[in-house]
């Protein structure tokens, strides 16, 4: 498995990571046995980055199941989790980056993950009420205490990444190494604003939804039925199945097939070919999906291939 540096730091991660947002929830989520099977398949495949969040699952269920599944192998991997998202939206919908909130959130995550340190602690969503220097100051204290090794963020716009980088440098705080954002052959808007900000801030990208919630697996075809138990049957995901997107998927399937490849290989290898990408956060519900994701990054696309993909996918991303 190829490994890459995260944000120019000494921390290295596997080019394919495991996203654990489907662990420990209510519907269409993995239970303890399912999560353990997927985690062990990832470990066997050489995946070293395991990504979760305190708000994934029910009452921190994703963290709890991941901690149980890793067991003694926890020391072999880079354990990444997130804070700031409301744990119970019936009580609060605020994204919280305040010092008091962070100190409690990290203790809760450490307990659920059954570990005494977090390798990568990520600011999940920006809090418009809390100045970034307060958030970074609290995270810096956690690094100095040994409870957190490195920090990162997710879903911050480009200007906030640059602001956070300046604030960290000005105060001598730990800096964000990476950010998570949606990025795939069907969602390329990050290239316009986010990529320049990442380069200016010496950060790298951990793309999520690399397969566009399944659209880039070949599972959903034009004129085909959507399985009732699939993600695309859920309201917020079903909205992604526009006619224009499905047409684009069909074009990508044809592109890959003409070269003796699958659209999954195309989607994963295209991302792996981006130097700004440190690790591709790919979820899985079965061990065979983990193995397929890992195997799909071995295609080196030519300059002509990339130019053709730009023609097929840019415009309306």
Do 121 and 81 contact (CB within 8 A), yes or no? yes
Q: Tell me how far apart the alpha carbons of residues 277 and 138 are, in angstroms, rounded to a whole number.
A: 27
Enumerate the β-bridge partners of residue 82: 122
Give Dmax (Cα) for the chain. Answer: 56
Q: Tell me how far apart the alpha carbons of residues 313 and 317 are, in angstroms, rounded to a whole number.
A: 7
Residues serving a catalytic function are 56
Which among 280, 249, 262, 87 is positioned nearest to 182, based on CA atoms?
280
């Amino acid at each position: 498995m190829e490994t890459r540096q995260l944000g120019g730091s000494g921390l290295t991660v596997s080019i394919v990571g495991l996203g654990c947002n489907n662990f420990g929830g209510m519907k269409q989520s993995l239970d303890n046995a399912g999560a353990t099977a997927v985690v062990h398949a990832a470990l066997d495949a050489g995946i070293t980055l395991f990504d979760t969040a305190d708000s994934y699952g029910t009452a921190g269920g994703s963290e709890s199941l991941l901690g149980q599944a890793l067991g003694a192998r926890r020391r072999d991997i880079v354990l990444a989790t997130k804070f700031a998202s409301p744990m119970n939206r019936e009580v609060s919908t605020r994204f919280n980056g305040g010092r008091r909130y962070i100190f409690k959130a990290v203790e809760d995550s450490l307990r659920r993950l059954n570990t005494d340190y977090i390798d990568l602690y990520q600011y999940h969503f920006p809090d418009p009420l809390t100045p970034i220097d307060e958030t970074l100051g609290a995270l810096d204290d956690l690094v100095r205490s040994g409870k957190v090794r490195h920090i990162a963020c997710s879903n911050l716009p480009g200007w906030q990444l640059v602001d956070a980088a300046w604030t960290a440098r000005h105060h001598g705080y730990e800096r964000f190494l990476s950010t998570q954002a949606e990025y795939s052959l069907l969602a390329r808007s990050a290239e316009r604003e986010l990529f320049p900000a990442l380069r200016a801030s010496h950060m790298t990208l951990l793309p999520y939804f690399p397969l566009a919630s399944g659209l880039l697996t070949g599972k959903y075809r034009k004129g085909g039925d959507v399985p009732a138990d699939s993600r695309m049957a859920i309201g917020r995901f079903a909205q992604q199945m526009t006619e224009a997107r499905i047409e684009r998927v069909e074009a990508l399937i044809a592109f890959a097939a003409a070269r003796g490849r699958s659209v999954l290989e195309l989607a994963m290898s295209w991302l792996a070919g981006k130097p700004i990408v440190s690790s591709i956060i790919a979820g899985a519900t079965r061990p065979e999906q983990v193995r397929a994701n890992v195997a799909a990054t071995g295609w080196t696309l030519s300059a002509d291939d990339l130019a053709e993909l730009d023609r097929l996918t840019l415009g309306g991303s």
